[in-house]
Structures are given as C-alpha cells and as structure tokens.
Amino acid sequence: MISAHLPVLQVVVPLVAAPLIVLLRRGLVGYVLAMAASAFVAGSALSLLADVWHGGVISYAIGNWPPPWGIEYRIDAANAFVLALLGVIAVVVAAYARRSVAAEVPAEQHYLFYAMYCLCLAGLVGITVTGDAFNVFVFLEISSLSSYVLIAFGRDRRALLASYQYLILGTIGATFIVIGVGLLYMMTGTLNIADMAARIGAVEARRPVLAALAFLTVGISLKAALFPLHLWLPGAYAFAPSAVSAFLAATATKVSLYVLLRFYFTVFGATFVFDALPMGGVLIALSVAAMFVASATAVFQADFKKLLAYSSLGQIGYITLGIGFASKAGLTGGVVHLFNHAVTKGALFMLAGAVALRLGSVRLDRMDGLAKAMPLTCAGIVLGGLSLIGVPGTAGFVTKWYLVLAALEAGSWTLAFVPVASSLLAVAYVWRFVEVAYFRPPSAEVARLSEAPPGLLLPAGALLVAVVYFGIDPSLTVGAAARAADALLAGIR
Amino acid sequence: MSAFGHFSYWITMFLLAAGLYIVIARGHLVKKLVGLSIFQTSVYLLYIAPGKLVGGTAPIISDKFTVYSNPLPHVLILTAIVVGIATLALGLALVVRIREAYGSAEEDEILAQDERAARDARAT
C-alpha cells in the first residue's frame, strides 16, 4: 500500500524532517532525524531500483492528477541509478557528519546544519525523480540554496566568500535553466518531460528550440561545474565543512549531470543534439580540456582539499566525455563514473576531513610524515588516489575501460589515449601526497598526532570497500549503468 | 512591425543583459546582488508575456468569453519570485557576514586580504 507512494515519499520525508529539526532545536535530535531521513531515502531508492531493474517505468501522479496535466514523478533505470547513489551517499555522509560536525560547527548551530542537510537531500532527490521540467528548477533551487548555507558553515572566513560566489554563479545557472525550460514550454505547450519529448519534433520554428538547448546547456554546465564554468567549485569544496565537501562532491554535480543527460537524450533526443548539431564534439573538446587543465592545476595546489576539488573537475570531464560519445559504451562509462567518482571522492574528502580534525589544516606542507602518525587515514587516501588514477582493481579503472572502448568504437585512437594520458596527471597529484606523507620524516607537530577517530574512519572505509569491490566485480554497477544507458538511448533516436 | 511586435522580448533581453553586466562588472557585493535580481526579473517577463492574449480573460468557462489568457505562466513565476526572494535574502545575509569577517564588501579588497593572509601563511 505505502510502497506505491515511495516515489513521492522519498522527497517528502527529508523535506518534512527539515522544519521539524528546526522546531525541535536539538543537535542530537537533528542528527537522528537526518540519519533516519537519509536511511529512508536509501531504502526506497534501492527498492525502486530493483523495481525498474528489468526495464519498465514507474509513473506517479502527484495528487492523482494524471500527467501531463498534473505533476508526474517518473522513475526509469537512469534516475533510479542516480537515486540509489544519492541514498547510499546520504547515509554514509550522515554517519560521518556526527563526529565531523561536532568538531567543525559550533554546538548551537548543529540543528540548523542537519536541517539544511535534509533540505539539500530533498532537493537533490526531487530533481532526480521528477518528470516535470519546471519542477527540476524548483528542486534545483531548494538544493542549491541549502548547499550555499551548508558551505557557509565552514570555519574559515573564506567559506563565506566561496558560498557567495557559488550563490551568484549558481543563480545565473539556475536562471538560464528556467529560460531554457520557458522557451521549451512556449514551443511545446507542456512542462511534462515525456510529453515535451513527444511534441518537440513537431515544432516548426527551430530557432527557439536551439536557443532553449543553448540556455539549458550553459545553465546545467554551470551547476555541474563543467570546464570552463567551474570557477565556483574549488573554493566551495575547499572551505566547506568536511562532511559538506564529501556530500556535495559525491552528489550535487552528479545530479546536475543527470539533468543534462535527461534533457539531451529524453527531451531533445540524441538525433537532434548529437547528429544534427555538433554538441558531441563540443562536449568532448570541453571534457578533454577539463581533464588536462584541471588535473594539471591540481598538481600545483598547496591545499589538499583544493587539490581534490580540481581533481573533481577533471573527473567530471570523464563523465561528460562519455556523454559526448552518445553511444552505449560511452554512456555506460559516463553513468558508471557518476557512481565510481562519487564513492572515490566522497571517501577522499572524508579522509581529508579526518586529517583536518587532527592536524587542524589540510595544507600539504604541514603533512610531513603524516603516514607515521595516521597510518589508516593515509592508506585510505592512497587507495582513493589509486582509483582516481584508474589502477586496475579499483572502481576508477572500470570507467576508463568503458571510455577507451567507446573511443575505439567511435574510431578515434587519439581519444582512446586521452583518459590514459590524463591518468598520468592524476599520478602526479596523488604522488604529491604520497611523497609528503610517506617519504618525509614526521615534523614535531605531526609526530604528536594520533589516528583519526573511528566515527570518521568507518564511513570513509565503507566507501573505500565499495571502491575496491566495484573495481573487482563491477557487474552490479556496470549492469545498472548499462540499463540506464539503454533507457536514455531509448528516447527518439 | 515585427520588431515592435516583439517589444516585450526586447525589454526582456535588455534587462537580462543589463543584469548580467552588473553582476560581472560591479565589485561591490550588494550591487552584484542588485544585478542578479534584475537578471532574474527579466525571466519573469519572458514567461508572463506569451501567456497574455489581447482581449483575453481569466480561463472561466462562460458563453460571454471566447479568448482566454494562459494562467499557468503566472503560477510558475509566482514560484520563481519566491525563489528569487529567498536567493536575494540569503545573498544579503552572506554579504552581512562577509562584511563582519573582512570589514569590507568590495570584492577586490576582500580578495586582496585573502591573498595577504595566504602569503603570511606561507611565510611562517
């Protein structure tokens, strides 16, 4: 009975939890409610993924108003995969947040932090499940506004400026998305994504449709931090509280990329975007630029969290490269990297938070000999780093395998070489940490430190187990991603 | 005629470009938010204008009326206005906090302070 309402409940539960936490004004109650809401989202997401695993679409009419008149929540293999990712990451980050937030946020603000966390989760889940284009914008703003607040919780005053800059760029991005949706609404007369897809081919005036595509591409790219629209990201990730960095790095940009996939493949259709227009080439060019420029910038960062943030930009390039191929192998690689990068970077930001907790800083020049004092944390960072590089046996390798396959399928040896070459840059920035932490004698400051508490290590460890497990046996993630790719390519081709 | 027929779009485009220009060109954080508001407002116009038909009324079924305006864009924009206000409020709250932390709301000055702090951190 209740399970029929899961599509809407997983948005409603965190959305209701947020004001409840604010009313109760207790940090511990806030934590319990946030954890419960995350666990509920994870449970329902996994059950929905199982429901749509063998094809099929779940359509939920809000308030029993049948689509396209009412708002529809629509779940297929593509968004069920993203949803499952969101749920799992939300639970793990919530588990990590207890200890981490206690150390980084003043006690009287804890309940506000957890309220914002629930709102952010509700927004991200909403973007993912909705089948209504205007709804995407509304949920995007719910998640964005709450993430600006989450970033501003950072202890460093630079967090405030990073949050402000993200607010300006994020709002420009969201407004561009509304303009695109508005143009599509004018031309098709509908806001329902499936209905829009059915009608867009019959639109005779192509110029507004082109303009809509342009506005949506730029707007979503801003939110997804696709190179060169990434300027907000490094500051936001570097100065946010550790739990927020881990959560946003693992989910926010991924959900934006899902929106890009949805508009490109379901609404506009791959024929229009990739065959009639050169968007594939544009995406591939920007992805290659992201992989090299952002990864090269990462090598020269003094701040470890900034290094990870720039590395994220390069990794987003892998995902958009897969999208740019617009083939089954390419999309599988891109979609599976949504997951692979989320668990890898989530774990790395958590461990960076563990270093920040003990050392009080994440500057690389203060980490001399850190591996002696914090062996588990450092080993975890190295393992995560190996996945960023794409060493066989880690999740990162699986992605690169599919991207290389897709490039060869597209007949381009140069592009097959690109993910491999950018891995060398990843080796360089991961090595910087290894060199400092393992091959330098511990400074007096570092020698006094003890290992990070289990409250931080266990959640990060759980994600690292996923990194290794899905690196050795990727049948589950790749299977889900291949189904997602099929669902996306099933649009008008 | 056609250029005049699209005059609401011209106004939209002007507001859009003007708002975006202010966001980029102004260094004062509050002025940037003013530009951002103008930019967002232009989109309200973009939605509302095509919903209006000359001589159209609210969509009430009656023998007396044959031409109706589309009410949906108004509802959508009501939501967008709420979002816009929330964004502006949060933006201004952040500027207040930034001014408390840095003693300035000028972007150049704040960045210069950050740079000085970073140089001092490297020196020690």
Domain boundaries, chain B: 2-123
| Chain A environment of B102 (Cβ under 8 Å) | 157
Quick count: other Cβ atoms within 10 Å of Cβ A28? 12
Judge contact between B57 and B71, C-beta under 8 A.
no
Distances (CA, A) of A82 to A8, A75, A218, A324, A419: 16, 10, 22, 19, 23
What pLDDT shows up at residue B1? Answer: 45
Question: Taking CB atoms and an 8 Å limit, are B94 and A137 in contact across chains?
Answer: no
Residues 6+ apart with CB under 8 A from A292: A314, A421, A422, A425
Average pLDDT for B28-57 = 89
What pLDDT shows up at residue B66? Answer: 80
CATH 1.10.287.3510 fits B2-123, yes or no: yes
For chain A, 493 residues long, the average pLDDT of each consecutive 10-residue run is 84 94 91 95 93 86 88 91 94 94 91 95 95 94 95 92 95 95 91 90 87 95 91 92 94 94 91 87 92 92 93 93 91 93 95 92 89 92 94 91 91 86 92 93 87 92 94 91 89 55
* ipTM, 2 dp: 0.93
The residue of chain A nearest to residue B21, with distances taken between CA atoms, is: A172
State how far residue A308 is from chain B, nearest Cα, in angstroms: 19
- Distance (Å, whole) CA A113 – CA A117: 6
Q: Three-class SS of residue A230?
A: coil
What pLDDT shows up at residue A273? Answer: 86
Judge contact between A288 and A321, C-beta under 8 A.
yes
| Chain B environment of A161 (Cβ under 8 Å) | 98, 110, 114
What is the DSSP secondary-structure string of A437-455?
Answer: HHSSPPPHHHHT--PPPHH
State how far residue A156 is from chain B, nearest Cα, in angstroms: 10
- Within 13 Å and on the Cβ side, how many CA atoms surround B65? 13
Distances (CA, A) of A83 to A40, A247, A415, A489, B121: 12, 14, 30, 19, 42
The residue of chain B nearest to residue A140, with distances taken between CA atoms, is: B83
Question: Taking CB atoms and an 8 Å limit, are B94 and A179 in contact across chains?
Answer: no
Quick count: other Cβ atoms within 10 Å of Cβ B13? 14
Question: Taking CB atoms and an 8 Å limit, are A178 and B79 in contact across chains?
Answer: no
- Nearest CB partner across the interface for B87, out of A134, A160, A167: A167
Q: Three-class SS of residue A389?
A: helix
Rounded-to-10 torsion of CA A207, A210, A214, A216: 110
What pLDDT shows up at residue A19? Answer: 94
